[in-house]
Structure 1
Amino acid sequence: MTSVLITGCSSGIGLETALAFARRGDRVHACVRDPAGAAELLRRARAEDLTLDVPRLDVTDDASVTAAVTAVQDRHGPVDVLVNNAGIDRTGPVETMPLDRARALMETNLWGPLRVSRAVLPGMRARGGGVIVNVSSLAGRTFAVPHGGFYAASKAALGALSEALYAEVQPFGIRVVCLEPGSFASRIQGRPAAGATDGKPSEDDPYRADHAWLARFLARVAEGAADCAEAAEAVVAAADDPGTPLHTVVGKDAEAALGFLAGVSYEQWLPRFLGQAESLAGPRPAP
């Protein structure tokens, strides 16, 4: 029985991925930061008569990661498949986004996958095999949008880390895949933006109007987001197929975006992006 550990399973892609592996009869460890957030996952699992464990694991906390992975491995042996899915999104201007919010992005989206990977790798190496699937984002492969620089940076960094790890662990029989989904209907779409405690830029932020304009555009894009179950299928397929490329985009919008960007410079792309944004959110406000 394959032992699968997945982070960030309270909603979205993580939740659907946990159910997808469980349907196959795999031993699923569907990790959540807050056990109270697992209610929907457990409800869905009961409805389908699926069995899975729900360990508490906070990817930003060294002790939490160590405790969760140790408990799983003590009970069931080395992890066969690790899915680093936990992630957050925060938008805000490069100049004024509070640094604690920017650091939180890196702590969760980059250092989180690193912590969990380091925890499972000794067991994988000892057994001579395993798969690590890092759920990144199309934002890590394309040009960064206004107010999305920190999120894009965290995902681009995860892609670079995945490349190095791929080469380092390949001699031990371990595979690494970096999945880069486009727009999917997960709670990450609606999480608050940077700024004051309510998640909005402060009243005196010179980028406030521009940020609100971009937020309207992103909300319109999210209306057409794909079902997270589609992304979960891609995760399972990547874990199964040794031929899966290191960088694999997920979703028709992601595939179209990469095709559109072939041979295009940032200076060529930006006016097109702004035009698309204005078609959905209205004219971009002047400073």
Structure 2
Amino acid sequence: MAKSTPFEGNAALIYGAAKGIGRAVALEFARRGARIAIADIDLDGAQETAALIVAAGGQAMATRCDVMSDLSVREAAVAAEIALGEIDILMNNVGGILNGNIEDIPLGEWERIISLNLLSAVRANAIFLPKMIARGSGHIVNVGSFAGLYPFAASRMPYVAAKAGVIALSESMALYLHPQGVRVSCLCPGPVATNVMDGMRTWSADVVMRGPGSQLPVKSVEDTAITLADGMHDGRVIIPTHEEVWPILERHAASPDRFIADKIAEFESGDTGRPTMRSSVAPK
């Protein structure tokens, strides 16, 4: 089985690194010696991230990209390859959420959320996987969520479906690609201090957003980036931001019915599962 891709001297393209986790990951990859390309619909933010890397002595470039467009994703890939050469690490980080009861969410929102969170990775992977397979090296990073690992996010079901798809896709990709020398990792954020709820659409009045567990601590984007980079270095496939999630997953696997019943009871008791340290943290 192939070893994990090192960072030193390699080129990384991150779709979605104008802010938040993506920016922190770009800075961490650069700190470890990677050259960075940033593709984001927020070009000003992408350029700010690149400037931070350059100011710290690294090499980086930025380009605008709408990951909902096949053409835009391909154009960003070409721009990154022109600037940095062969792309060794591809990270699919773009995502977005909504809030609402399932009966209130229109089909168009399902299509938008699934395209943004799942198909965006499919579009980018389709460009780079043939090249990585041909040379027998490379590292794909997809971004899932705790919401795709176990049930709690009842008011974000399109997001749940998309992120569960990303996780399942990543595991099957690893099964297929690792023997061919291409690594796959899936970062799964839990409660992380980001601005992911900025611009979030809500489709139901007074709907309560549930979190992955009020006992889970809030992580910074910087800690999240270190966790990802360390996990990639160690060759891990599923990389959660919180190691505390594993006992939760064990309970879910032991009895999904009991787990769901317990979650219903928690919510009815007033425990929404959201972290209490800061109200701006989105429960991923």
**TM-score (normalizing by structure 2):** 0.82
Q: Distance in 2 between matches of 1:114 and 1:273?
A: 35
Number of the residue aligned with 2:229: 236
Number of the residue aligned with 1:275: 269
CA, structure 1 residues 259+25, in 2 after alignment: closer, same or farther (shift >3 Å)? same
Number of the residue aligned with 1:263: 254
Query: Which of 225, 242, 261 lines up with 2:218 in the alignment?
Result: 225
Number of the residue aligned with 2:76: 68
1:134 offset after TM fit, Å? Answer: 0.9
List alignment gaps of at least 5 residues for structure 2.
1-8, 276-284
Query: Which of 49, 52, 59 lines up with 2:60 in the alignment?
Result: 52
CA, structure 1 residues 55+271, in 2 after alignment: closer, same or farther (shift >3 Å)? same
Contact 1:85 1:134 in 2 (8 A): yes
- Normalized per residue, the structure richer in helix is 1
Q: Distance in 1 between matches of 2:73 and 2:178?
A: 24
Q: Which one has a bigger Cα radius of gyration?
A: 1
Q: Distance in 1 between matches of 2:81 and 2:50?
A: 22
Provide Cα deviations, 1:141-174, integer angstroms capped at 9, x if missing partner.
1114321211111100111211222222233211
Query: Which of 32, 39, 45 lines up with 1:31 in the alignment?
Result: 39
Matches within 5 A, 1:90-169: 90-169=98-177
Secondary structure at the aligned position of 2:184 is classed as: strand
List alignment gaps of at least 5 residues for structure 1.
196-200, 202-207, 282-287
Identity of matched residues, %: 29
CA, structure 1 residues 11+158, in 2 after alignment: closer, same or farther (shift >3 Å)? same
Provide Cα deviations, 1:201-251, integer angstroms capped at 9, x if missing partner.
4xxxxxx23x1xx14x66x96x96310111111221233222x1x223222
CA, structure 1 residues 256+275, in 2 after alignment: closer, same or farther (shift >3 Å)? farther
Number of the residue aligned with 2:91: 83
Contact 2:46 2:63 in 1 (8 A): no
Contact 2:100 2:202 in 1 (8 A): yes
CA, structure 1 residues 137+171, in 2 after alignment: closer, same or farther (shift >3 Å)? same
Q: Distance in 2 between matches of 1:147 and 1:65?
A: 30
Provide Cα deviations, 1:259-280, integer angstroms capped at 9, x if missing partner.
5535242223321244253698
CA, structure 1 residues 43+94, in 2 after alignment: closer, same or farther (shift >3 Å)? same
CA, structure 1 residues 226+69, in 2 after alignment: closer, same or farther (shift >3 Å)? same
Secondary structure at the aligned position of 2:64 is classed as: coil
Q: Distance in 2 between matches of 1:86 and 1:184?
A: 15
Secondary structure at the aligned position of 2:103 is classed as: coil
Contact 1:78 1:123 in 2 (8 A): no
Q: Distance in 2 between matches of 1:119 and 1:280?
A: 38
* Root-mean-square deviation (Å): 2.7
1:7 offset after TM fit, Å? Answer: 1.3
Contact 1:91 1:150 in 2 (8 A): no
**TM-score (normalizing by structure 1):** 0.81
| Structure 2 residue 187 is matched with structure 1 residue 193 | no
Amino acid at match of 1:128: G
Contact 2:15 2:39 in 1 (8 A): yes
Q: Distance in 1 between matches of 2:166 and 2:49?
A: 26
Contact 1:78 1:127 in 2 (8 A): no
Contact 2:141 2:185 in 1 (8 A): yes
Amino acid at match of 1:232: A
